[in-house]
Amino acid sequence: MLPSALNFGSSHTRMSDHYSSFLRTHEEDVVRAWVDEIYADSRINLTTLVPYAQLVDHLPDILDELGHLLDKTADDAEIQEATRRLRSLAQVRFRQGAMIDEVARELMILRKILGQFLWREGLSTAVDLWELRDALKRADTFFDEMIVQVILIYATSYRPPVETRSSIWPPPRRRDPTR
C-alpha cells in the first residue's frame, strides 16, 4: 500500500492553489538555507563583496514571482517575461563586481533549495505528484531563464561597441520558425 503522501486519489491536496502562500510562509527558512549554502560554497565570493542585506534583498522578489508563476501554471512565454522583469538582479550583481559564474551559482543553489522545500511540502501534504513534477519543471525553466538573463546582462555589459551594428536593448524577440 502506498503511503498517504503518495495517494493519487481524488482526495489529494492541490498544491498549486498555495505556492505563493507556501513560499511566503517559508521565506525565512528558504533564505536561511540559501545563505548557509552560499557561505559554504568556496566558489562564491559574493559574501566578501556585499553585506548580508544586499546579498539577500532580491530573494523576496524572486520567491514572489516564482510563487505567482507556479500558482497560475504559467507557460514558457510567461516565465520568460517574468525573468525579464527580474533582470535587475544580474545588473546589480554586475555593478557589485560579482563574477558571472557566482551569480549563476547563487541561482542554481536557490533552485536546489526550493526544490527540496517543495518536495518536502508536496510529500507531507499528499499533493498530486504529477502536479508537483509539473511545478518543479516550471521552476527549473524559471531558473534557466534567470541564468539566461544573467548571461545577457554580462555579455552586453562587456560587449565592445561596433560601428557597423546597431544595438537594441532588449534584443528583439526571435520569430518562431514553426509559424
Tens digit of each residue's pLDDT (9 = 90 or more) over 54-67 = 999 999 999 999 99
CB distance 44 to 105 below 8 Å: yes
Give pLDDT tens digits for 23-39: 999 999 999 999 999 99
- The per-residue pLDDT for range 124-148, each reduced to its tens digit, is 776 678 888 888 999 999 999 999 9
Higher pLDDT, 78 or 49: 78
Q: Where are the domains of the chain?
A: 21-155
Q: Write down the pTM of the prediction.
A: 0.78
Give backbone dihedrals phi and psi of 13, rounded to 5 degrees, phi first: -85, 140
Q: CA–CA separation, 8 vs 34, rounded Å?
A: 31
Classified by CATH at the fold level, domain 21-155 comes out as Globin-like (1.10.490)
> How much is the mean pLDDT over the chain?
83
147, three cell numbers: 541564468
Query: What is the structure's pLDDT at 102?
Result: 94
Q: Kindly state the cell numbers that stand for 41.
A: 560554497
E strand or H helix at 22, and its extent? helix 19-25
Helices (H), 52-128: 52-56, 59-71, 76-85, 88-96, 100-124
121 within 8 A of 93, measured Cβ to Cβ: no
| Cβ-proximal residues to 118 (8 Å cutoff; 6+ apart), any chain | 22, 132, 135, 136, 139
Spatial distance between the Cα atoms of 167 and 165, rounded to a whole number of angstroms: 6
Neighbour-count burial of 131, counting CB atoms closer than 10 A to its CB (0-12 exposed, 13-18 middle, 19+ buried): middle
Distance CA 123, CA 119 (A): 6
CA 77 to chain centroid, in Å, comes to: 15
So what's the pLDDT on residue 147? 96
Neighbouring C-alpha atoms within 13 Å toward the C-beta of 137: 10
